[in-house]
Structure 1
Amino acid sequence: MPFTQDAELELSFDAKLIPATLNERLAQHNLHIRPLASSDYHRGHIHVLASLTSVQDPGEDRWKERFNELAQSTTSASKYFVVVIVSKHSDKLVATGTVFLEPKFLRNLASAAHIEDIAVDHTMQGKGLGKVLIQALTTLSEAQGAYKTLLDCNDDNVPFYNKCGYETKGVYMAKYK
């Protein structure tokens, strides 16, 4: 499948919010970073997420509904930005990550940003794509005025996130249904 240019896609937010320097760096690997597109269900978005955790395929219609919800959120206080890395060779997704902004009453009504769902296809791990995603998502959060950017990770991933400029703060707790 030939590579689809950004201008031909319905993107979830303006691609100019992602630093051009990241695409320059990815070009040597024949890769491209951009916002999630409405047609990325067919480019393997669910498949890439499955490299992170167990994922049930919601089907194209439900996936598209969620895409539309997230795309519309970029004009509200709670903004969601999903970024993907695409192989120019196959036009398939090889990595994805999300940052969302949480409006707060603290710090003069500022927002805190949360990075989630960093996933890199197993065949592409070890090529620095996770770091590129973190840089893109951190830049997005800072450009949106977040006073801090948070992420949760397993203990074995702490060294990676330290290399990306993040430090351990507090303890992460969870209760699953």
Structure 2
Amino acid sequence: MADELFSNSYISFDVAKELEPNYRIRPLQPSDYHGGFLRTLADLTTVGAITEQRFIDQYEFMKHRQGEYFVVVIENLLTGQVVGTGTLVVEHKFIHECGLVGHIEDIAVAKSEQGKKLGIKLIRALTFIGEKVGCYKIILDCSPHNEQFYVKCGYENGGFEMVKRFDK
């Protein structure tokens, strides 16, 4: 078995079987540095220059925080490239009897693979993980033009996002 960020048992069997035969959904692996993971994220937002060592250090940090970081990828088996990714971050709360809240982040599908419903499958896979680990709710932020996509995934508008950014 490859070194994976979390156990493959958290991957939804239903989502996995709905993928076309040349796609596989799985946990992030260190080899994804060379497999297009960062390139796919760059189709979403600014990634910056990340060395392989920095990637591995971040991966190891997440791996050692078991149950808090779930980064899933969709791999195109014909090319060996990561063509989709998403993250569920699990927050430990005091409210709701020390409950868990899932935060879906960084949903990205490679431009060449968009329109194949891979984003919906990523959301469903992350929602499955959140429910499996015991989250009492899962939240995500999106831009207004993406709202209808998330409605299709079963999410609803729950308010407004506020942000304060810090320039480096």
* TM-score in same-fold range (> 0.5): yes
Of 119, 122, 128, which aligns to 2:111? Answer: 122
Q: Is 1:113 matched up with 2:106?
A: no
What is the SS of the residue equivalent to 1:34?
strand
- Alignment match of 2:72 (pick from 63, 70, 83): 83
Mapped to 2, the partners of 1:25 and 1:91 lie a distance apart of: 19
Q: Structure 2: where are the runs of 5+ without partners?
A: none
Q: Return the offset for 1:52.
A: 0.3
Distance (whole Å) between structure 1 residues aligned to residue 113 and residue 49 of structure 2: 22
Identify the residue that residue 43 of structure 2 maps to in structure 1: 51
Separation of aligned partners in 1, 2:118 and 2:28:
16
After TM superposition, the structure 1 = structure 2 runs for residues 1-177 of structure 1, keeping only pairs within 5 Å, are 7=1, 9-28=2-21, 30-75=22-67, 79-177=68-166
Q: Distance in 1 between matches of 2:25 and 2:127?
A: 14
2:80 & 2:47 partners in 1: Cα distance?
Answer: 22
Aligned-residue CA RMSD (Å): 0.9
SS of the equivalent of 2:63 reads helix
What is the alpha-carbon distance in structure 2 between the residues aligned to residue 57 and residue 87 of structure 1? 24
Unmatched runs of 5 consecutive residues or more in structure 1: 1-6
Cα displacement (A) at 1:54: 1.3
C-alpha distance in structure 1 between counterparts of 2:72 and 2:53, whole Å: 20
Partner-residue secondary structure (3-state), 1:94: strand
- Whether the 8 Å CA contact 1:101–1:112 is kept in 2: the answer is yes
d(CA) in 2 for partners of 1:126, 1:74 = 33
Runs (4 or more) in structure 1 with deviation over 3 Å come to none
Residue equivalent to 1:3? none
Distance 2:154 2:115 in 1: 18
Aligned length: 166
Question: Secondary structure, in 3 states, of the residue corresponding to 2:64?
Answer: helix
Aligned partners of 1:161 and 1:83: how far apart in 2? 18
C-alpha separation in 2, matches of 1:19 and 1:102:
21
Question: C-alpha displacement at 1:27, in angstroms?
Answer: 3.2
Encode CA deviations 1:122-160: one digit per residue, 9 max, x unaligned. 000110000000000001011111100000000000000
**Secondary structure of 1:27 counterpart:** coil
